[in-house]
Protein backbone atom coordinates (compact mmCIF):
# COMPACT_ATOMS: atom_id res chain seq x y z
CA UNK A 1 0.00 0.00 0.00
CA UNK A 2 1.05 3.59 -0.69
CA UNK A 3 -0.32 6.88 0.61
CA UNK A 4 -0.12 10.26 -1.11
CA UNK A 5 -0.90 13.57 0.57
CA UNK A 6 -1.18 16.98 -1.06
CA UNK A 7 -2.39 20.51 -0.63
CA UNK A 8 -5.34 19.88 -2.95
CA UNK A 9 -6.78 17.19 -5.20
CA UNK A 10 -8.78 17.73 -8.36
CA UNK A 11 -11.80 15.40 -8.29
CA UNK A 12 -14.84 15.13 -10.60
CA UNK A 13 -16.78 17.35 -8.18
CA UNK A 14 -14.10 19.98 -7.64
CA UNK A 15 -11.20 20.40 -5.24
CA UNK A 16 -10.58 18.36 -2.10
CA UNK A 17 -8.39 20.23 0.36
CA UNK A 18 -5.56 18.47 2.20
CA UNK A 19 -6.39 15.00 0.87
CA UNK A 20 -4.81 11.67 1.61
CA UNK A 21 -5.02 9.01 -1.11
CA UNK A 22 -4.50 5.33 -0.38
CA UNK A 23 -3.28 3.21 -3.30
CA UNK A 24 -3.10 -0.55 -3.50
CA UNK A 25 -2.33 -2.88 -6.42
CA UNK A 26 -2.40 -0.02 -8.91
CA UNK A 27 -5.83 1.28 -7.93
CA UNK A 28 -7.16 4.02 -5.67
CA UNK A 29 -8.44 2.41 -2.49
CA UNK A 30 -9.70 5.50 -0.71
CA UNK A 31 -9.63 9.32 -0.79
CA UNK A 32 -10.36 11.34 2.35
CA UNK A 33 -9.41 14.61 4.05
CA UNK A 34 -6.19 14.06 5.96
CA UNK A 35 -7.84 15.32 9.13
CA UNK A 36 -10.40 12.52 8.91
CA UNK A 37 -8.20 9.59 7.89
CA UNK A 38 -5.09 8.27 9.56
CA UNK A 39 -2.58 6.43 7.42
CA UNK A 40 -2.24 2.74 8.34
CA UNK A 41 0.87 1.87 10.32
CA UNK A 42 3.87 1.00 8.21
CA UNK A 43 2.53 2.66 5.05
CA UNK A 44 4.89 5.11 3.34
CA UNK A 45 3.49 8.59 2.74
CA UNK A 46 4.52 10.70 -0.23
CA UNK A 47 3.81 14.23 0.92
CA UNK A 48 3.19 16.87 -1.75
CA UNK A 49 2.07 19.50 0.73
CA UNK A 50 2.69 22.41 -1.65
CA UNK A 51 1.23 20.72 -4.73
CA UNK A 52 -1.96 19.59 -6.45
CA UNK A 53 -2.86 15.98 -7.24
CA UNK A 54 -4.67 15.72 -10.59
CA UNK A 55 -5.78 12.80 -12.76
CA UNK A 56 -3.24 11.57 -15.26
CA UNK A 57 -3.74 13.13 -18.67
CA UNK A 58 -5.16 11.16 -21.62
CA UNK A 59 -4.03 12.00 -25.17
CA UNK A 60 -6.37 10.57 -27.82
CA UNK A 61 -4.40 11.92 -30.78
CA UNK A 62 -0.63 11.63 -30.87
CA UNK A 63 1.66 10.46 -33.68
CA UNK A 64 4.94 10.41 -31.79
CA UNK A 65 7.55 12.28 -29.79
CA UNK A 66 11.18 12.08 -28.66
CA UNK A 67 12.31 11.56 -32.27
CA UNK A 68 10.08 8.53 -32.91
CA UNK A 69 6.86 8.00 -34.86
CA UNK A 70 4.33 5.47 -33.50
CA UNK A 71 4.07 3.84 -36.94
CA UNK A 72 7.79 3.07 -36.93
CA UNK A 73 9.14 -0.40 -36.30
CA UNK A 74 12.09 0.39 -33.99
CA UNK A 75 11.85 -1.54 -30.72
CA UNK A 76 12.80 1.54 -28.73
CA UNK A 77 10.18 3.80 -30.37
CA UNK A 78 7.13 3.37 -28.14
CA UNK A 79 9.10 3.24 -24.86
CA UNK A 80 10.79 6.54 -25.80
CA UNK A 81 7.46 8.12 -26.77
CA UNK A 82 5.82 6.90 -23.56
CA UNK A 83 8.61 8.19 -21.33
CA UNK A 84 8.35 11.67 -22.81
CA UNK A 85 4.56 11.60 -22.52
CA UNK A 86 4.78 10.74 -18.84
CA UNK A 87 7.26 13.54 -18.29
CA UNK A 88 4.50 15.89 -19.38
CA UNK A 89 1.71 14.31 -17.34
CA UNK A 90 0.21 11.87 -19.87
CA UNK A 91 -0.49 8.45 -18.37
CA UNK A 92 -2.69 6.97 -21.14
CA UNK A 93 -2.76 7.57 -24.88
CA UNK A 94 -4.07 6.41 -28.24
CA UNK A 95 -1.18 6.02 -30.72
CA UNK A 96 -2.45 7.61 -33.91
CA UNK A 97 -1.79 6.56 -37.48
CA UNK A 98 -1.47 8.86 -40.47
CA UNK A 99 -2.50 8.00 -44.03
CA UNK A 100 0.11 5.75 -45.64
CA UNK A 101 0.21 2.86 -48.13
CA UNK A 102 -1.97 -0.04 -47.04
CA UNK A 103 0.72 -2.62 -46.25
CA UNK A 104 2.79 -0.36 -43.96
CA UNK A 105 -0.44 0.74 -42.28
CA UNK A 106 -1.49 -2.85 -41.63
CA UNK A 107 1.94 -3.68 -40.21
CA UNK A 108 1.81 -0.62 -37.96
CA UNK A 109 -1.64 -1.60 -36.69
CA UNK A 110 -0.36 -5.08 -35.88
CA UNK A 111 2.64 -3.70 -33.96
CA UNK A 112 0.51 -1.24 -32.03
CA UNK A 113 -2.00 -3.96 -31.14
CA UNK A 114 0.85 -6.09 -29.79
CA UNK A 115 2.12 -3.18 -27.67
CA UNK A 116 -1.35 -2.65 -26.21
CA UNK A 117 -1.74 -6.34 -25.47
CA UNK A 118 1.65 -6.45 -23.72
CA UNK A 119 0.56 -3.62 -21.43
CA UNK A 120 -2.76 -5.37 -20.79
CA UNK A 121 -0.87 -8.49 -19.72
CA UNK A 122 1.43 -6.33 -17.56
CA UNK A 123 4.53 -7.58 -19.37
CA UNK A 124 6.11 -4.15 -18.81
CA UNK A 125 7.45 -4.23 -15.21
CA UNK A 126 6.61 -1.45 -12.70
CA UNK A 127 10.13 0.08 -12.76
CA UNK A 128 9.49 0.91 -16.40
CA UNK A 129 6.22 2.68 -15.62
CA UNK A 130 5.35 5.11 -18.41
CA UNK A 131 2.31 6.23 -20.40
CA UNK A 132 0.19 3.26 -21.48
CA UNK A 133 -1.24 2.73 -25.00
CA UNK A 134 -4.88 1.75 -24.56
CA UNK A 135 -6.25 1.80 -28.10
CA UNK A 136 -5.46 2.92 -31.63
CA UNK A 137 -6.71 6.08 -33.32
CA UNK A 138 -7.06 5.53 -37.08
CA UNK A 139 -6.66 8.96 -38.68
CA UNK A 140 -7.02 8.42 -42.39
CA UNK A 141 -7.25 7.02 -44.97
CA UNK A 142 -11.03 7.72 -45.02
CA UNK A 143 -10.67 11.48 -45.31
CA UNK A 144 -11.43 14.24 -47.81
CA UNK A 145 -9.03 15.13 -50.60
CA UNK A 146 -10.12 18.75 -50.21
CA UNK A 147 -9.26 18.82 -46.49
CA UNK A 148 -6.51 16.20 -46.32
CA UNK A 149 -3.87 18.57 -44.93
CA UNK A 150 -0.55 16.77 -45.36
CA UNK A 151 -2.02 13.26 -45.69
CA UNK A 152 -0.69 11.84 -49.00
CA UNK A 153 -3.46 12.04 -51.62
CA UNK A 154 -2.35 8.85 -53.37
CA UNK A 155 -3.03 6.83 -50.21
CA UNK A 156 -6.53 8.12 -49.41
CA UNK A 157 -9.28 5.50 -49.70
CA UNK A 158 -12.99 5.48 -50.27
CA UNK A 159 -14.52 4.09 -47.06
CA UNK A 160 -15.95 0.60 -47.45
CA UNK A 161 -16.89 -2.05 -44.93
CA UNK A 162 -14.30 -4.37 -46.49
CA UNK A 163 -11.49 -1.82 -46.06
CA UNK A 164 -12.53 -1.04 -42.50
CA UNK A 165 -12.64 -4.77 -41.71
CA UNK A 166 -9.11 -5.20 -43.03
CA UNK A 167 -7.81 -2.50 -40.70
CA UNK A 168 -9.89 -3.89 -37.83
CA UNK A 169 -8.46 -7.38 -38.23
CA UNK A 170 -4.87 -6.10 -38.47
CA UNK A 171 -5.42 -4.16 -35.24
CA UNK A 172 -7.11 -7.20 -33.66
CA UNK A 173 -10.06 -5.05 -32.65
CA UNK A 174 -7.87 -2.47 -30.91
CA UNK A 175 -9.09 0.49 -32.98
CA UNK A 176 -10.86 2.68 -30.43
CA UNK A 177 -11.11 5.92 -32.41
CA UNK A 178 -11.43 6.71 -36.10
CA UNK A 179 -11.40 10.01 -37.96
CA UNK A 180 -13.54 10.00 -41.09
CA UNK A 181 -15.07 12.50 -43.53
CA UNK A 182 -18.84 11.86 -43.65
CA UNK A 183 -19.31 13.22 -47.19
CA UNK A 184 -17.35 10.39 -48.80
CA UNK A 185 -19.27 7.66 -50.62
CA UNK A 186 -19.81 4.79 -48.20
CA UNK A 187 -18.84 6.83 -45.12
CA UNK A 188 -22.24 6.70 -43.40
CA UNK A 189 -22.31 2.90 -43.57
CA UNK A 190 -18.77 2.63 -42.19
CA UNK A 191 -19.56 5.14 -39.41
CA UNK A 192 -22.55 3.07 -38.34
CA UNK A 193 -20.58 -0.19 -38.30
CA UNK A 194 -17.61 1.27 -36.46
CA UNK A 195 -19.90 2.83 -33.85
CA UNK A 196 -21.66 -0.52 -33.43
CA UNK A 197 -18.27 -2.05 -32.56
CA UNK A 198 -17.66 0.56 -29.88
CA UNK A 199 -15.31 2.80 -31.85
CA UNK A 200 -15.49 6.51 -31.07
CA UNK A 201 -16.13 7.83 -34.57
CA UNK A 202 -14.84 11.36 -35.00
CA UNK A 203 -15.62 13.61 -37.95
CA UNK A 204 -12.61 15.44 -39.33
CA UNK A 205 -10.48 16.21 -42.37
CA UNK A 206 -13.84 16.98 -43.92
CA UNK A 207 -15.42 19.34 -46.43
CA UNK A 208 -18.94 18.26 -45.45
CA UNK A 209 -21.91 20.60 -45.48
CA UNK A 210 -24.20 20.96 -42.47
CA UNK A 211 -26.73 18.33 -43.52
CA UNK A 212 -24.11 15.69 -44.34
CA UNK A 213 -22.34 16.33 -41.04
CA UNK A 214 -25.63 15.90 -39.20
CA UNK A 215 -26.15 12.59 -41.00
CA UNK A 216 -22.72 11.50 -39.82
CA UNK A 217 -23.58 12.28 -36.23
CA UNK A 218 -26.95 10.63 -36.67
CA UNK A 219 -25.22 7.45 -37.91
CA UNK A 220 -23.11 7.18 -34.76
CA UNK A 221 -20.25 9.69 -34.92
CA UNK A 222 -20.01 11.65 -31.67
CA UNK A 223 -16.77 13.60 -31.74
CA UNK A 224 -14.81 16.08 -33.88
CA UNK A 225 -11.09 15.89 -34.72
CA UNK A 226 -8.88 18.99 -34.20
CA UNK A 227 -11.86 21.31 -34.55
CA UNK A 228 -11.50 24.05 -37.19
CA UNK A 229 -8.29 22.51 -38.56
CA UNK A 230 -8.71 20.56 -41.82
CA UNK A 231 -12.42 21.43 -41.91
CA UNK A 232 -14.64 23.43 -44.23
CA UNK A 233 -14.54 27.01 -42.92
CA UNK A 234 -17.53 28.35 -40.99
CA UNK A 235 -19.70 30.62 -43.14
CA UNK A 236 -22.81 32.44 -41.97
CA UNK A 237 -24.88 31.12 -44.91
CA UNK A 238 -23.03 27.81 -45.27
CA UNK A 239 -22.18 26.69 -41.72
CA UNK A 240 -20.84 23.30 -42.86
CA UNK A 241 -19.35 20.75 -40.52
CA UNK A 242 -18.38 23.40 -37.96
CA UNK A 243 -22.00 24.51 -37.70
CA UNK A 244 -22.93 20.95 -36.70
CA UNK A 245 -20.00 20.44 -34.33
CA UNK A 246 -20.41 23.71 -32.47
CA UNK A 247 -24.19 23.56 -32.04
CA UNK A 248 -24.88 19.87 -31.36
CA UNK A 249 -24.88 19.39 -27.59
CA UNK A 250 -24.22 15.64 -27.99
CA UNK A 251 -20.91 16.19 -29.77
CA UNK A 252 -17.55 16.53 -28.05
CA UNK A 253 -14.78 18.42 -29.81
CA UNK A 254 -11.02 18.24 -29.48
CA UNK A 255 -8.61 21.10 -30.08
CA UNK A 256 -4.88 21.71 -30.48
CA UNK A 257 -4.30 24.59 -28.05
CA UNK A 258 -0.76 25.46 -29.05
CA UNK A 259 -1.42 29.02 -30.23
CA UNK A 260 -0.41 27.94 -33.75
CA UNK A 261 -3.28 25.76 -34.97
CA UNK A 262 -5.92 28.03 -33.46
CA UNK A 263 -5.90 31.68 -32.50
CA UNK A 264 -6.57 32.07 -28.77
CA UNK A 265 -9.85 33.80 -29.61
CA UNK A 266 -11.03 30.65 -31.45
CA UNK A 267 -10.00 28.48 -28.50
CA UNK A 268 -12.10 30.78 -26.33
CA UNK A 269 -15.04 30.48 -28.75
CA UNK A 270 -14.93 26.68 -28.79
CA UNK A 271 -14.56 26.57 -25.01
CA UNK A 272 -17.64 28.74 -24.56
CA UNK A 273 -19.77 26.80 -27.04
CA UNK A 274 -18.74 23.28 -26.00
CA UNK A 275 -18.18 24.05 -22.34
CA UNK A 276 -16.00 22.33 -19.73
CA UNK A 277 -17.75 18.98 -20.24
CA UNK A 278 -17.44 18.71 -24.04
CA UNK A 279 -14.06 20.28 -24.77
CA UNK A 280 -11.14 17.86 -25.18
CA UNK A 281 -7.46 18.67 -25.43
CA UNK A 282 -5.19 16.74 -27.79
CA UNK A 283 -1.62 17.38 -28.85
CA UNK A 284 -1.48 15.89 -32.38
CA UNK A 285 2.18 15.57 -31.42
CA UNK A 286 4.74 14.29 -33.92
CA UNK A 287 8.17 12.67 -33.59
CA UNK A 288 9.56 16.20 -33.33
CA UNK A 289 7.94 16.79 -29.93
CA UNK A 290 10.59 17.34 -27.29
CA UNK A 291 13.30 17.66 -29.94
CA UNK A 292 15.31 20.61 -31.31
CA UNK A 293 14.44 22.29 -34.59
CA UNK A 294 15.15 20.02 -37.54
CA UNK A 295 13.70 17.44 -39.90
CA UNK A 296 11.61 14.50 -38.62
CA UNK A 297 9.06 11.88 -39.74
CA UNK A 298 5.27 11.74 -39.64
CA UNK A 299 4.39 8.30 -40.97
CA UNK A 300 5.87 8.26 -44.47
CA UNK A 301 6.16 12.08 -44.57
CA UNK A 302 9.12 14.30 -43.86
CA UNK A 303 8.28 17.26 -41.61
CA UNK A 304 10.31 20.27 -40.62
CA UNK A 305 10.20 22.02 -37.25
CA UNK A 306 11.12 25.67 -36.87
CA UNK A 307 10.18 27.95 -33.97
CA UNK A 308 7.42 25.70 -32.66
CA UNK A 309 5.77 25.06 -36.03
CA UNK A 310 5.75 21.60 -37.60
CA UNK A 311 5.21 21.73 -41.37
CA UNK A 312 5.44 19.69 -44.55
CA UNK A 313 5.56 21.55 -47.87
CA UNK A 314 4.44 24.67 -46.04
CA UNK A 315 1.36 23.06 -44.45
CA UNK A 316 0.93 22.43 -40.74
CA UNK A 317 1.77 18.78 -40.05
CA UNK A 318 0.84 17.95 -36.49
CA UNK A 319 2.47 19.79 -33.61
CA UNK A 320 5.23 19.79 -31.01
CA UNK A 321 2.74 20.56 -28.25
CA UNK A 322 2.88 18.75 -24.91
CA UNK A 323 -0.26 18.14 -22.88
CA UNK A 324 0.87 20.08 -19.82
CA UNK A 325 1.44 23.11 -22.02
CA UNK A 326 -1.97 22.58 -23.64
CA UNK A 327 -3.61 22.63 -20.20
CA UNK A 328 -1.93 25.89 -19.25
CA UNK A 329 -2.74 27.44 -22.64
CA UNK A 330 -6.42 26.48 -22.41
CA UNK A 331 -6.69 28.03 -18.96
CA UNK A 332 -5.08 31.22 -20.25
CA UNK A 333 -6.86 31.44 -23.63
CA UNK A 334 -10.35 30.55 -22.37
CA UNK A 335 -10.13 32.17 -18.94
CA UNK A 336 -10.77 28.79 -17.32
CA UNK A 337 -9.64 27.62 -13.93
CA UNK A 338 -6.82 25.10 -13.73
CA UNK A 339 -9.39 22.51 -12.63
CA UNK A 340 -11.50 23.06 -15.77
CA UNK A 341 -8.46 22.91 -18.05
CA UNK A 342 -7.23 19.71 -16.36
CA UNK A 343 -10.65 18.14 -16.93
CA UNK A 344 -10.27 18.78 -20.68
CA UNK A 345 -7.05 16.74 -20.60
CA UNK A 346 -8.19 13.94 -18.29
CA UNK A 347 -11.84 13.19 -17.54
CA UNK A 348 -13.21 14.41 -20.87
CA UNK A 349 -10.87 12.43 -23.16
CA UNK A 350 -11.26 9.38 -20.92
CA UNK A 351 -15.04 9.55 -21.36
CA UNK A 352 -14.73 10.12 -25.11
CA UNK A 353 -12.36 7.17 -25.39
CA UNK A 354 -14.53 4.89 -23.23
CA UNK A 355 -11.82 4.54 -20.57
CA UNK A 356 -13.94 3.99 -17.48
CA UNK A 357 -11.13 3.77 -14.90
CA UNK A 358 -9.11 6.71 -16.22
CA UNK A 359 -9.33 10.48 -16.03
CA UNK A 360 -10.70 10.89 -12.51
CA UNK A 361 -9.34 10.44 -9.00
CA UNK A 362 -12.02 8.39 -7.26
CA UNK A 363 -12.06 5.19 -5.23
CA UNK A 364 -11.76 2.21 -7.57
CA UNK A 365 -10.12 4.15 -10.41
CA UNK A 366 -6.63 3.41 -11.69
CA UNK A 367 -3.97 5.20 -9.65
CA UNK A 368 -2.78 7.44 -12.49
CA UNK A 369 -1.71 10.79 -11.02
CA UNK A 370 0.03 13.93 -12.09
CA UNK A 371 1.47 16.21 -9.42
CA UNK A 372 1.18 19.87 -10.39
CA UNK A 373 2.39 23.13 -8.93
CA UNK A 374 0.00 26.08 -8.67
CA UNK A 375 0.87 27.18 -12.22
CA UNK A 376 -0.09 23.78 -13.66
CA UNK A 377 3.48 22.63 -14.30
CA UNK A 378 4.19 18.92 -13.92
CA UNK A 379 6.33 17.92 -10.95
CA UNK A 380 5.79 14.15 -10.80
CA UNK A 381 3.79 11.50 -12.69
CA UNK A 382 2.50 8.15 -11.46
CA UNK A 383 1.09 5.32 -13.58
CA UNK A 384 -0.84 2.63 -11.68
CA UNK A 385 0.68 3.97 -8.47
CA UNK A 386 4.28 3.69 -9.73
CA UNK A 387 6.32 6.80 -10.38
CA UNK A 388 7.04 7.18 -14.08
CA UNK A 389 9.39 10.13 -13.89
CA UNK A 390 10.70 12.55 -11.30
CA UNK A 391 10.82 16.10 -12.61
CA UNK A 392 12.09 17.25 -15.99
The closest alpha carbon to 119, from 174, 166, 73, 68, belongs to 174
How many C-beta neighbours within 10 Å does residue 305 have?
A: 22
Class of domain 56-357: alpha beta
**CATH fold match for the domains 1-54+361-392 and 56-357:** no
Per-residue pLDDT tens over the stretch 309-334: 999 999 999 999 999 999 999 999 99
Per-residue pLDDT tens over the stretch 340-376: 999 999 999 999 999 999 999 999 999 999 999 999 9
In the set 248, 254, 284, 368, the catalytic residue is 284
Find the mean pLDDT for residues 131-141: 97
Per-residue pLDDT tens over the stretch 14-63: 899 999 999 999 999 999 998 888 888 889 899 999 999 999 999 999 99
What are the strands, taking DSSP E only, across 171-221?
175-180, 200-203
Contact status, residue 253 vs residue 279, Cβ threshold 8 Å: yes
The per-residue pLDDT of the chain, averaged, comes to 95
Three-class DSSP labels, 228-289: CCCECCCCCCCCHHHHHHHHCCCCEEEECCCCCCCCHHHHHHHHHHHHHHHEEECCCECCCC
CA-CA distance, 318 to 316, in Å (whole number)? Answer: 6
CA-CA distance, 175 to 353, in Å (whole number)? Answer: 11
Is 209 among the catalytic positions?
no
Q: Is the pLDDT of residue 124 over 60?
A: no
Measured in degrees and rounded to the nearest 5, phi and psi for residue 222 equal -145, 10
Three-state DSSP state, 77:
helix
Q: Where are the domains of the chain?
A: 1-54+361-392, 56-357
Class of domain 1-54+361-392: mainly beta
Confidence at residue 391, expressed as pLDDT on a 0 to 100 scale: 42
Q: Is the pLDDT of residue 6 over 90?
A: yes
Contact status, residue 280 vs residue 60, Cβ threshold 8 Å: yes
Helix axes 240-247, 264-278, angle to 10 degrees: 40
pTM exceeding the 0.85 threshold for the entire prediction: yes
The closest alpha carbon to 91, from 338, 382, 386, 387, belongs to 382
Amino acid sequence: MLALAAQRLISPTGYIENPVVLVEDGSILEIAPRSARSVPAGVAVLDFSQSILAPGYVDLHIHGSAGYDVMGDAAEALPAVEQLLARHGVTSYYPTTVTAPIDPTLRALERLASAIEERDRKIVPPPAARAAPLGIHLEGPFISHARRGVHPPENLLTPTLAAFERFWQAARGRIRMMTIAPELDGAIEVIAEAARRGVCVSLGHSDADLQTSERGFGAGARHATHTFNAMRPLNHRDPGILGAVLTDSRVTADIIADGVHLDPAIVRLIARLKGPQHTVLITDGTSATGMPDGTYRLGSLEVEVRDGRCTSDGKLAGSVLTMDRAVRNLAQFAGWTLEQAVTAASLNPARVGGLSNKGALTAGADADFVVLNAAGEVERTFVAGVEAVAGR
